[in-house]
Amino acid sequence: MWPRYCLEDVAWLGYDAHDYVAYPVVCFCDIPLSRITDHVGFYGEFGIGLTRQWAEANRLNPILYVAGENNVSSSFRELNEHSHKHTKADQKEAAKVTMRYLLAHSKPAQGKMVVDGKPVEKLFYQESEWRYVPKNKNVKAYLLKSEFENIDTLTSANEKTREHCVIKFGPRDIRYVFVKSDADIPDIVNFIQVELDQYPGVDQKILMSRVVSLESLSADL
């Protein structure tokens, strides 16, 4: 899993200077299969379901959803103001780094998501999102929107996360392999047999048994 910078709606913080900030992140959802139709309709009809144990071992965490203007959103602004009050530059920056990391795990319950360069209204709360946000001195904690839109800056920043921050999973960490239709299952099974032959045969067989067609799943649900 390769964390790449993703534009996040930060208008809920109430700052005039920035409406979007990009954090390096890999996003996951923790929703029941009965609600998967709407999710795949927006994000795509192929996916991998991983175990909760894998998520916790790799330090993923559920995000905090903020519902409009309330004590939580104002507390984030107060934290920012507190950080500015440090008289020593190193203490001020350390406080800001901590706050930014918390903000990277926070999101409005409803807001805008950039899709193909255009903002789209999205009810984020329904996604029950978990995140992996790397904490590594070799990568930038965030990019401003202007930096994100500079292809050279973005590519360079993403290469740094690939070099220092990827997390891995194996066949035993997988609970589901979702494909669009029954017709896609043979291709996935063939991929497991041919491309994943470095794994023991028992792991391959378990993995093949976890291939699920959304076409059949939707009909059952």
* Residue-level pLDDT at 83: 80
The answer to whether 109 and 125 have CB atoms below 8 angstroms apart is yes
Q: Where are the beta strands (DSSP E) in the chain?
A: 4-9, 20-29, 47-50, 61-62, 64-66, 106-108, 111-115, 118-122, 129-132, 143-144, 174-179, 211-213
* Residue-level pLDDT at 221: 61
The distance of Cα 121 from the centroid of its chain, to the nearest Å, equals 18
Within a domain: residue 42? no
For 53, the 3-state DSSP assignment is helix
Q: What is the pLDDT along the chain (221 residues), one digit of tens a residue?
A: 999 999 998 888 877 667 889 999 999 999 888 777 777 878 888 999 999 999 999 999 999 999 888 898 888 888 878 887 877 888 888 888 888 899 999 999 998 888 887 888 888 998 899 999 999 999 999 999 999 999 999 999 999 999 999 999 999 999 999 999 999 999 999 999 999 999 999 999 999 999 999 888 776 66
Number of domains in the chain: 2
Within a domain: residue 48? no
Asked whether residue 92 falls in the same domain as residue 183, the answer is: no
* Residue-level pLDDT at 77: 84
Asked whether residue 127 falls in the same domain as residue 29, the answer is: yes
Q: How far apart are CA 204 and CA 189, in angstroms?
A: 9
Asked whether residue 94 falls in the same domain as residue 185, the answer is: no
Asked whether residue 12 falls in the same domain as residue 110, the answer is: yes
> What's the domain range around 198?
171-220
Q: What is the pTM of this model?
A: 0.85
Q: Determine the straight-line distance between the first and last CA of the chain, rounded to whole angstroms.
A: 30
Asked whether residue 141 falls in the same domain as residue 199, the answer is: no
